[in-house]
Amino acid sequence: MITVSIIIPAYNAAATLPATLKSALIQEDDSFKLEIIVVNDGSTDQSQVILDNYCEECKIITTENRGVSAARTTGLEHAKGDYIQYLDSDDLLMPGKIKQQLNALIDTQADIAYGDWQKFTQKGEEITITETISKQIGINPELDIFNNFWCPPAVLLFSKKITDRLAWKPNLPVIQDARYLLDAASIGKFVYVPGMQAQYRIMQSKSLSQRDSLAFVTDCFVNTGEIYERWKNELAENPDKKQALINSLRYCITEFSIAKSKLSNKAIDLLLKIAPGYVPPEPALHHNVSKLIGFKNAEKLAAIKRNLGK
């Protein structure tokens, strides 16, 4: 019988773990075997006390605190499933999610299933849906994901064949789930499964990317540099990939200049390595000044203007 492993990294998640575990346990179905693995990543709250009540239904692994990438990797190392479901400890799977996506993967021989999802907040027992996302990946999954497609791990179901070829990136602590999906797109086939698949909790205390915007932009820059190394031999024949890298670097350059980060110059240098003599098409003033004194010097002036306008 096919086995599906649900891997749940948990760090100080006592407040949300029961609901998350319930959403995992109700995925059980006669057509497949369900394995639930929870990696307690050095929690200091009551997470372990809660997990002690689930020892019969779940495999509990307790480690020192090493971060979510290490926790997911540990869970995968212990997983016996033919298919892998990553589930963060504050998100929820919709009833029947795994069965529906599993059938789609088997029928299409795809590697990754995804579907629609919702963002929600919770106050007491009251859940409020803040946004419903129904979006499909385009004909070039890797480029589409790099440009503008993201969904939380709960929305996805992977074949073990593809997770064996992927790795979580601890050097990208803020955007590691986006990078994992991007790496999957470079080697795998997606299938869209209509319908609501998962719910993603928006923390009232703000997400990591919202709490530390410079860390988020730094991850974006590091990621762009790594993807450039993957794509660099394709750029002459694939202007869309070249433009995607330029767009990402322009975003990083702007944000770095506002934060007065030394990484701004490194981002400019990488952009000029990708596109020597680059002149931005807009805004008009930046375009004209770049033509006169070069993009790097024009960016120095633009940075001054951005900071004066704050």
* pLDDT number for residue 306: 85
* pLDDT number for residue 302: 87
What percent of the chain shows pLDDT beyond 70?
A: 96
Across residues 219-239, what is the average pLDDT? 97
* pLDDT number for residue 310: 58
Report the SS3 class of residue 81.
Answer: coil
CA distance 58 to 66: 21
Q: How far is CA 193 from the centre of its chain?
A: 19
What element of type H or E holds 114? Answer: strand 112-123
Would the pLDDT of 204 be above 60? no
Pairing mode of beta strands 33-41, 59-63: parallel
* pLDDT number for residue 188: 97
Q: Which of 227, 215, 243, 217 is nearest to 185 (CA)?
A: 227
Burial per residue of 49-61, b for 16 or more beta-carbon CB atoms within 10 angstroms, e otherwise: ebbeebeeebbbb
**pLDDT tens per residue across span 36-66:** 999 999 999 999 999 999 999 999 999 999 9
DSSP 8-state symbol, 162: H
Would the pLDDT of 294 be above 70? yes
Cβ atoms of residues 39 and 75 within 8 Å:
yes
Rg of the chain, C-alpha, whole Å:
22
* pLDDT number for residue 108: 97
Pairing mode of beta strands 157-159, 112-123: antiparallel
* pLDDT number for residue 207: 46
**Mean pLDDT of the residues in the chain:** 94
Burial degree of 103 (CB within 10 A; 0-12, 13-18, 19+): middle
Cβ atoms of residues 196 and 115 within 8 Å:
yes
CA distance 299 to 279: 11
22 pLDDT tier (thresholds 50, 70, 90): very high
